[in-house]
Amino acid sequence: MSVGSRRGDRSAPALALVLWAALLFSPTASAATNMITLGLALEPPNLDPTATSAEATQDVVYGNVYEGLTRITEQGRVAAGLAQSWTVSDDGLRYRFNLRRGVHFHDGTPLTAADVRWSLDRARAAGSTNPLRELLAPLQAIHIVDELTVELELERPVADLLTYLGWGNLVILSPATATRAATAPVGTGPYRFVEWRKGDAVVLELNPDYWGTPARLQRVTFRIVPDASSALAALLAGDVDGYSNFPAPEGVAALEHDGRFTVSIGSTEGETLLAINNARPPFNDLRVRQALAYAVDRRAIIQGAMYGYGQPIGSHFPPHDPAYVDLTARYPFDPAAARALLREAGYPNGFALTLRLPPPYYARRSGEIIAAQLAAIGIRVRIENIEWAQWLEQVFKNRDFDLTIISHTEPMDYDIYARPGYYFGYSSPTYAARLAALSRTRDESSRLRLLSELQRQLADDCVNVFLFELPKLGVWRHDLHGLWREAPIQGIPLAAAYLDGPAGHAAAATITRSSGGVFTALALVIFTLAALALRRHVSARHLLGRSITLAVTLLGASLLIFLLVNVLPGDPAAYMMGLNASQSAVANLRAEYGLDVPAWQQYLQWLAALAHGDLGLSYTYRVPVADLVAQRLTVSLPLALYALCLSIALALPAALVAARRPGRALDSLLMGIAQVGLAVPNFWLGLLLILAFSVHLHWFTAGGFPGWQDGIGPALRALTLPAVSLALPQACILARVLRAELGLALAEDYVRTARAKGLSSWQALCRHALPNAMIPALTIIGLQFSFLLAGAIIIETVFALPGLGRLLFQATAQRDLIVVRGVVLLLVAAVVLVNFLVELLYAVVDPRLRDTGAR
C-alpha cells in the first residue's frame, strides 16, 4: 500500500529542491578592514570574568571589554583605571575612589558609583562564584559618597587591595546587563563584544565612544586553536595574525628566523612546579624532598620541554618582580647529593611513585624528562596523564597524588602556601605569620624584606621543586605593534595595539546569523530522501515497525550514554571554578547545574526535556545545548556531505572502469591503488596534505573555518583538505566494495541475459550490474556517512575545525556532561536515522523489498 496521495508524492521532492536552493543562495556579509585575529589555545568557558578564574576569559575581555577601578600596567604596577584617583586613610581601612567623568557602558548607560558598589557587592555576596570572594572578606561596607565617588570600608588592612581591584575578577559591570555577561558582555572598555562562535572565535570591535584614547584596531577576533600543532599551521598559513602566548615552544625558534613575524619572549606570573604531596610519606621527610630537588636538572627541562624558553626559579616567585630573590643555586643539579640524601632518609634503593600530569604541554613534556632524571637516582616514576577535570578532582580537591607538574599563573599567589588544606599538604605557622604581617605592612622596604623571607622559607623547606617561570611566547605579524611582552596579569589588553599602514586582513571576522539553517538543512536531507523513498511503495507497516525499532535503540542508547557519562570522574562545577575557588562557590554552582539530585532523577529529567526537544543548558557556555550543536553542525554536516560526495565521485568511476575489463592491467592498477589507499589513516593523510598544500604551496589554509556568511567559496575552500583526507580512504573502501559487487553481479545470469539481448558490455555493466551492486554499496555509503559525521573527530583536530567532534572533546575535557550527552545522543541518533534511511532506500532500489500487500 502506498502512503500519501500521488499529488503529495510528486510535490515533495520539488519543495525540497526549492528549500535547498534558498539555503544555498542566502545573502552573504561583506568584509571589513584594519582588523586582526589572535589565536587562543583554550576557549573561554564563558565571558564573565567575575564568575570564573579561567585564563581564557580574562584573555578576551580583560582591559578590552571590561575595566576595573584600577588597572595593572605591563610592568605590574597599579595605575588609574575607571577611578581617576583615590585616597587611602592612614590606618589603611578606608579607600575613597573618584570615578572618571563621562564613562559609558557599551549600551550607552553612564558609569556611576552605584554600578561600582553593585559590582563589588555581587562579587562578595554569599552565593557568588567569584574566585576572589574570600579575599574580599575584610571588606565591610561600600558607601556611595556621590554620583562619582565611592568609599570602601575594611575591617582590617589589605595591603594589596589596589592590585586586586585591577584584576579581571573585580571589573565593573552594569546591573542591567550583568545577567547576560557570560555570553554577551557589556563593559566600559575600548572594544565591545560582537559575537562568540562557540568552539571557533570571539569577536570584538572598536568602541567609538571610549572615554580614553580610542583603540586603533577596527576589529579583533580571538580564534580558538586548541592544539599546539594546529597553532603553528594556523600562524604559517596566515589564519591567525599572532599569539599573545604561543602554545608550541618547539615552533618558536623557526618563527624567530621568519621575517614575517615578531617574536617577543616575556615572562608570565606562572611559576611551574613539580608539586609534592608534603603530607604523604615519604615526602613528609625534608631529605626526600631535597633529594628530589637535587635530582632535577632545570636546564635540561627548560631545554627539552620548553625549547630553551623559560627562566629557572628557586622558589615560588616571578623573576621579573622587584622583590625577587634568585634561589636557583639553593639546590643545584647534583645527583650524588640526591642519592646521599635518599640513603640518609632510609631509601638506599630508591622507591616508586606516581607522577600525575595534567594536559598542558609543559607538564606532559617536563614530566617525561623528570621521570628520566629521577630514575637516575633510583626513583621509579609511573607517569599518569589525566584530564583537567580529573586533576582538579584527584589532585587539587582530594589531594590524592605523589607528584604533579603544574604552573600557578595567578599573580601574587604565594598566599596559597598558608591556605589550610591546600593540595601541597604544607603547613607552617611561621609562614602564615609572615604572610599576615605582609598583609598589614604598607612600607615598601619592610614589604621587600618580608617577601624575601617568604621566598627563602619555601626554598629551604623545599615544599615543591621549583622548575621555571612559564615564558610568554609572544608571536605576531611584524607589522602588529602594541601587544604586551610581559604578562604580569591574566589578560591580553589590546588598547594600544595597532597595525602599520592601511592594513587589511583576509581572515575576515563576521557574524553568524542563524543556527536554525542547519536544522533546516538536516531536515531537508531527511525529507528529500524520505520523499524519494515514499514515492515508491513503502508500507506504513514497514515504516511503523522500523520506527519502533529506532525508538527502542535510541532509548537504549540514551540510557547507556547516561550511565557512561555519569560515571565519568570529575566535577564540572569544580572545573568551572578553577584553582582558587572556594568550596562554597563550587557547591552553589553544583546546585545551579542540578547536579545535587540522584542520578536516576537526572536521567528522567533529561529524558523529559528531550521529549520536548530540549537538550538542556550547557554548564560551561550557559547556552542551550541545541544551539551549540546546531552551530557545530554547520561545519560537520557540510564536511560529511562534501567528503561523502567526493568519496562516491572517486569510487564510482574507478569501480566501473575496473570492472569493465576484469583482471586487466587497469583493474589491477586501480584496485592496487585502492588497497594501498585504504591503509593510509586519514589523520596522517591530513598531516601530509597540510605539509604539502598549506605549508609549502599555500593553496589552502591549514585549518580553521571562516563560516558560511562570506559565501560558499571560502567555506568550501576551508573544508576541502579535511574532506579530501576523510574521503580518500573511504573512497578506496567504497571502490573495492563496488568493484567486488560489480564482479559478482557481472557473473549473474541476468547480465548474460542482457548481453544475449544485444546490449554492449558497457550497457550491461551500467544498466544491470551497477544497480544490483548498489544495494550492498548503499550499506557501505550509509555507514560511511555516519562515520564521516561522527568519525571526523580526529580530522577536526588536525584541521582545527569547530565541528561536533571538537565540541565533544572540549565538553568531555571540561566535564560539560550535558553537552557530552547531547552530542553523543545526537550522533547515535544520526547513525540510527541514516540506517533507517538506507533501509528506505533499499526499497527504492530493490522492488523485492517493497511491500506487496496491496496485491
Partner 1 sequence: MPPARLTVGLKIGTVLLSVYAALALSSLSSVYDAGLTIEVGSRLLAPSAAHWFGTDALGRDVLALVAVGTRTSLGVALAAVAAGLLCGVPLGLLAAARGGLADDALARAGDLVFAFPSLLLAVLLAAAAGPGAMTAVIAIGVFNVPVFARLVRGNALSLMQRDFVMAARVAGRSTAAIAFDHLLPNVATLIVVQATIQLSLAIVAEAGLSYVGLGVQPPDPSWGRMLNEAQTLASSAPWLALFPGLALALAVLALNLVGSAMATHLDPRSRAGSP
Partner 2 sequence: MTVRLQVRDLSVSLDGHPLVTAIELEVNAGEVYGLVGESGSGKSMIALALMGLLPAGATVSGSVRLDGHELLGADEATLCTIRGRGIGIVFQEPATALNPLLTIGAQVTEGLLANSAATPAEAAMRAAAVLARVGLPAASIPPTRYPHELSGGQRQRVAIAIAIAARPALLIADEPTTALDVTTQAQILALLRTLASEDGMAMVLVSHDLAVVAESAHSIAILRSGRIVEQGRLTTILTRPAHPYTQQLLRDYQPPELLPRLTEPTEVLLRAEDLIRDYPLPRRSFFGPTPTRRALDGVSLRIAAGERVGLVGESGSGKSTLVRALLGLDRAQSGTVRIAGEALYAVGAERLRPLRRLVQVVFQDPYGSLNPRHSIGRIVAEPLHLYPERLPRPERERRVTAALEAVGLGSANLRARPEQFSGGQRQRIAIARALVVEPRLLVLDEAVSALDATTRLQILELLARLWRERGLAYLFVTHDLAVARAVTDRLLVMHEGRIVEQGATARILDRPEHPYTRTLVAATPLFDRALARRSAEDSPE
Residues 6+ apart with CB under 8 A from 178: 48, 119, 122
**Angle CA 28–32–34, to nearest 5:** 160
Residues 6+ apart with CB under 8 A from 21: none
Residues in contact with partner 2, total (CB under 8 A)?
A: 30
Q: Site residues for partner 1, window 304-333 (CB under 8 A)?
A: 304, 307
Among residues 122, 151, 138, the alpha carbon closest in space to that of 48 is found at 122
Alpha-carbon distance of 289 to 464, in angstroms, equals: 8
Shortest distance (Å) from residue 341 CB to partner 1: 23
Alpha-carbon distance of 108 to 116, in angstroms, equals: 16
Among 18, 145, 552, 607, indicate the residue that binds partner 1 (CB under 8 A): 552
809 binding partner 1? (CB under 8 A): yes
Among 205, 241, 271, 387, indicate the residue that binds partner 1 (CB under 8 A): 387
Among 385, 427, 520, 582, indicate the residue that binds partner 1 (CB under 8 A): 385
Residue 284 contacts which entry, partner 2, partner 1, none (Cβ below 5-8 A, type-dependent): none
Shortest distance (Å) from residue 65 CB to partner 1: 31
Shortest distance (Å) from residue 653 CB to partner 2: 21
Residue 760 contacts which entry, partner 2, partner 1, none (Cβ below 5-8 A, type-dependent): partner 2
Which range binds partner 2 by CB under 8 A, 229-237, 270-278, 716-724, 841-849?
841-849
Among 654, 690, 781, 800, indicate the residue that binds partner 1 (CB under 8 A): 690
Cα of 320 vs its chain's centroid, Å: 30
Q: Site residues for partner 1, window 346-375 (CB under 8 A)?
A: 359, 364-365, 367-369, 371-372
Residue 371 contacts which entry, partner 1, partner 2, none (Cβ below 5-8 A, type-dependent): partner 1
- Binding pattern for the stretch 538-557 against partner 2, x by CB under 8 A and - elsewhere: ---x--xx------------
**Beta pairing, strands 70-72 & 261-276:** unpaired
7 binding partner 2? (CB under 8 A): no
Reading the block at residue 849, the C-alpha cell is 523489498
769 binding partner 1? (CB under 8 A): no
Among 9, 153, 321, 384, indicate the residue that binds partner 1 (CB under 8 A): 384
Shortest distance (Å) from residue 773 CB to partner 2: 11
Q: Site residues for partner 2, window 655-674 (CB under 8 A)?
A: 662-663
Q: What are the angstrom distances between the C-alpha of 610 and each of 607, 613, 617, 825?
A: 5, 5, 12, 10
Q: Site residues for partner 1, window 654-683 (CB under 8 A)?
A: 663, 668, 671-672, 675-676, 678-681, 683
Among 634, 772, 786, 812, indicate the residue that binds partner 2 (CB under 8 A): 772
Q: Residue 794, exposed/middle/buried by CB under 10 A (0-12, 13-18, 19+)?
A: middle
User: Burial letters for 201-235: b for 16+ Cβ neighbours within 10 Å, e otherwise?
Assistant: bbbbbbbeebbeeebbbbbbbbbbbbbbbbbbbbb
750 binding partner 2? (CB under 8 A): yes
Among residues 74, 75, 40, the alpha carbon closest in space to that of 55 is found at 40
Shortest distance (Å) from residue 654 CB to partner 1: 15
Residues in contact with partner 1, total (CB under 8 A)?
A: 80
Alpha-carbon distance of 276 to 758, in angstroms, equals: 84
Q: Site residues for partner 2, window 278-317 (CB under 8 A)?
A: none
- Binding pattern for the stretch 388-407 against partner 1, x by CB under 8 A and - elsewhere: --x-----------------
Residue 75 contacts which entry, partner 2, partner 1, none (Cβ below 5-8 A, type-dependent): none
Shortest distance (Å) from residue 751 CB to partner 2: 8
Q: Site residues for partner 1, window 781-800 (CB under 8 A)?
A: 786-787, 789-791, 793-794, 797-798
Among 101, 748, 765, 805, indicate the residue that binds partner 2 (CB under 8 A): 748
Shortest distance (Å) from residue 786 CB to partner 1: 5
The length of the chain, given as a count of residues: 855
Which range binds partner 1 by CB under 8 A, 268-276, 287-295, 539-547, 823-831?
823-831
691 binding partner 1? (CB under 8 A): yes
CB atoms within 10 A of CB 376: 13
763 binding partner 2? (CB under 8 A): yes
Q: Which is nearer to partner 1, 156 or 382 (CB)?
A: 382
Q: What are the angstrom distances between the C-alpha of 761 and each of 270, 351, 736?
A: 73, 76, 20
> Running DSSP on this structure, what letter comes out for residue 242?
E
Among 60, 236, 754, 801, indicate the residue that binds partner 1 (CB under 8 A): 236
Q: Torsion-angle region of residue 353: left (phi > 0), alpha (psi -120 to 50) or beta? A: beta
Residue 761 contacts which entry, partner 1, partner 2, none (Cβ below 5-8 A, type-dependent): partner 2
Reading the block at residue 331, the C-alpha cell is 639546590
**Residue given cell 577535570 in the structure block:** 389
Residues 6+ apart with CB under 8 A from 729: 677, 678, 680, 681, 682, 685
Among residues 308, 297, 310, the alpha carbon closest in space to that of 250 is found at 308
- Binding pattern for the stretch 261-300 against partner 1, x by CB under 8 A and - elsewhere: ---------------------------------------x
Q: Which is nearer to partner 2, 284 or 763 (CB)?
A: 763
Which range binds partner 2 by CB under 8 A, 69-77, 537-545, 554-562, 613-621?
537-545
Q: Is the dihedral of CA 107, 113, 116, 121 positive or negative?
A: negative
- Which helix (H) or strand (E) element contains residue 269? strand 261-276
607 binding partner 1? (CB under 8 A): no
The beta strands (E) that lie in 103-258 are given as 139-146, 149-154, 191-197, 201-206, 219-224, 242-243
For residue 87, what are the β-bridge partners?
96
Among 761, 779, 829, 833, indicate the residue that binds partner 2 (CB under 8 A): 761
767 binding partner 2? (CB under 8 A): yes
Which range binds partner 1 by CB under 8 A, 123-131, 134-142, 221-229, 589-597?
221-229
Contact 798/775 with Cβ under 8 angstroms? no
Q: Residue 631, exposed/middle/buried by CB under 10 A (0-12, 13-18, 19+)?
A: buried
Q: What are phi and psi for residue 748, nearest 5 degrees?
A: -75, 155
Which range binds partner 1 by CB under 8 A, 125-133, 154-162, 384-392, 710-718?
384-392
**Residue given cell 624575601 in the structure block:** 452
Binding site for partner 2 (CB under 8 A): 541, 544-545, 662-663, 748-750, 752-761, 763, 767-768, 771-772, 845-848, 852-853, 855
